[in-house]
Chains A and B, each alone.
Chain A
Amino acid sequence: MKRFLLKFFYGLRNFDFFIFLLICWEIFARFIYPQFESRAAIFLPTFLNVLKEFWQLLANGILWQHILASCKRILVGFSLASLCGITLGFILGYSQRAYEQLQGICQIFRPVPPVAWIPISLLWFGITEAQQCFIIFIGVIFPILFNTLDGVHSVSSQYKHAAQSLGANKALLLRKVILPAALPKIMFGLRSGIGYAWFIIVAAEFVSAPRGLGCLILEGRNAIITERIFVGMIVIGTINLLFDYALTKLENLIVPWQKVSLFYEE
């Protein structure tokens, strides 16, 4: 525990530059900028005002509503995509024939950004939750699928040989060798997927959503309350960070033999 605290506070000193920038921002936005721009508050609200807005939104529960709305969409889209992506990825990675037949289609759809799907998905689903989840789904399924495929495909033949040489049949080989061996790459795919989901959801919510963090940002823009935009941005960033942190810890738990270092620990 002591080591953790020491590391934490030591790492904290790296933020001195950041805090310096915050102070500069505050001073500039509050005292200098308004001198030559009457609408300064629109272009660059002060940091303290942003905090005030954050506090207000938090206090009257609106912020939570937005957060939950976004999280719900991401969880639904992500879970579906994980299910389909891992299953398909497994099939394509394991069976050469399936790969040859189906990989063409996947490669065709893969480079189309999920954002580009928004208008046509609106046509198909209308302005509904399903449409939002669909965008997440279509964006996240490909990284998961291809990482799973890669994971299954690139299981070292040494492991397969060793297992066969110990008398394993095909079923045992699949369950106890190929699956665990592919796990690191599958987890990596899932982690990429979640980051990508947060990447996309903002765009999806911009175009059509009554609730959600992207929507919060849009509100801020429409009502010209720039503080709200900032709040939305910071909250999304924070939640994205938390999700990634949680998934990395989970990954290290499930796949301890290939420890992934947290970006922030270095």
Chain B
Amino acid sequence: MKTLLKSLSRYFSLILFLILWHVFAVYIHPRFNPMAFNILPSPLMVVQMGVELFNRGQLLSHIWDSLRRVLVGFSLAVLVGVFLGSLMGLSQAIKGRLKAIIVILRPIPPFAWIPLGLIWLGIGDAEAIMVIFLSAVFPVALHTLYGIEKMDSRLKEAALSLGVSRWGLFKRIILPGILPELFSGMRQALGFCWIVVVGAEMVGSVSGLGYLILDSRNLGLPQMAILGMVLVGLIGFSMDRLLITMKKLILPWDIK
């Protein structure tokens, strides 16, 4: 019983917050402003909106659109990023030159690429995926590089003196060795992807959670914006947790 209460107390501030929000939005605010609900809807209204959109099938389709873009962009970024990172790790000459390019391209915020993406690829999935890709490829590449560099060369030497082949070395020593760092890079990249997709959809798309949040302005339904915000937060958080769980399963030996 005690532990139940203790775990509930973690949500205490959240529950209190919801209650205060509801009381303020429904009872206090409308006294000062007849248009109160146009500025701050109550939590119930947000939930109602969610249910309504869900029933119309729009909720799931928006969520899926955003997720789909992230998944495609992220996967591409991982493939390309790992490839580039490995190249850099293998050769100092390549590392120097690719790093020079990354130094120049990385500080450009992914959102800044959106207008260019719109010109090149028009409105739609492709443009969003391009921007998502750009936001994720740098962290992945760099973390792959760090993973390779941080690896204790003595591990490789130990394996070689135990008679392992080149391919065996890669498969059984190098690959597991860089995975922890790679996962941490992927986690960071996924976070960026999710943030970027919302922004990209706001500016250049007609579907997706970002679009949903933006559209709330056109429709004058702030509860839709809040619904979108909550969903974005929840899904982003869940994806992060999923990645961490995957890491615990695949790399149980890495405690960090």
- Hey, which bits of chain A sit against chain B, CB under 8 A? 11, 13-18, 21, 42-43, 100-105, 108-120, 122-124, 198-203, 206-207, 214, 217-218, 220-221, 226, 229-230, 232-234, 236-238, 240-241, 244, 263-264, 266
Contact = CB atoms under 8 A, between A and B. Distances in A.
Prevailing SS type, chain B contact patch: helix
A110 B194 CA distance: 13
B101 A18 contact: yes
B213 interface: yes
Given A104-B13, A119-B214, A14 B99 contact: yes
Nearest to B101: A18
Contact of A226 (B119, B222, B233): B119
Given A15-B100, A120-B225, 12 more contacts: A104-B13, A112-B232, A116-B232, A118-B202, A199-B109, A201-B109, A203-B202, A218-B115, A229-B115, A236-B108, A237-B106, A241-B107
Contact of B203 (A11, A206, A229, A263): A206
B27 interface: no
Contact of B10 (A104, A119, A122, A230): A104
Given A119-B214, A236-B112, A113 B198 contact: yes
Contacts of B217: 119, 122-123
B9 interface: yes
B210 interface: yes
B114 interface: yes
Interface residues of B, number: 56
Nearest to A39: B119
A21 B115 contact: no
Interface in B76-103: 96-101, 103
A229 B116 contact: yes
Given A206-B111, A229-B116, A111 B210 contact: no
Nearest to A242: B107
Contact of A113 (B9, B38, B232): B232
Prevailing SS type, chain A contact patch: helix
A124 B38 CA distance: 10
B63 to A, nearest CB: 14
B111 A18 contact: no
Nearest to A207: B202
B50 interface: no
A14 B96 contact: yes
B64 interface: no
B103 A43 contact: no
Contacts of B242: none
Contacts of A236: 107-109, 112
A121 to B, nearest CB: 10
A217 to B, nearest CB: 5
B14 A123 contact: no
Given A43-B120, A123-B39, A203 B111 contact: yes
B229 A120 contact: yes
Contacts of A116: 198, 209-210, 213, 225, 228-229, 232-233
Contacts of B112: 202, 214, 217, 232-233, 236-237
Contacts of A207: 202-203
A264 B104 CA distance: 10
B103 A117 contact: no
B237 interface: yes
B46 to A, nearest CB: 11
A123 B108 contact: no
Contacts of A42: 119
A127 B152 CA distance: 54
Given A111-B234, A115-B202, A226 B116 contact: yes
B216 interface: yes
Nearest to B209: A116
B233 A202 contact: no
Contacts of B120: 43
Contacts of A120: 222, 225-226, 229
Contact of B229 (A117, A201, A244, A266): A117
Interface in B176-210: 194-195, 198-199, 202-203, 209-210
Contacts of B202: 115, 118, 203, 206-207
A243 B89 CA distance: 28
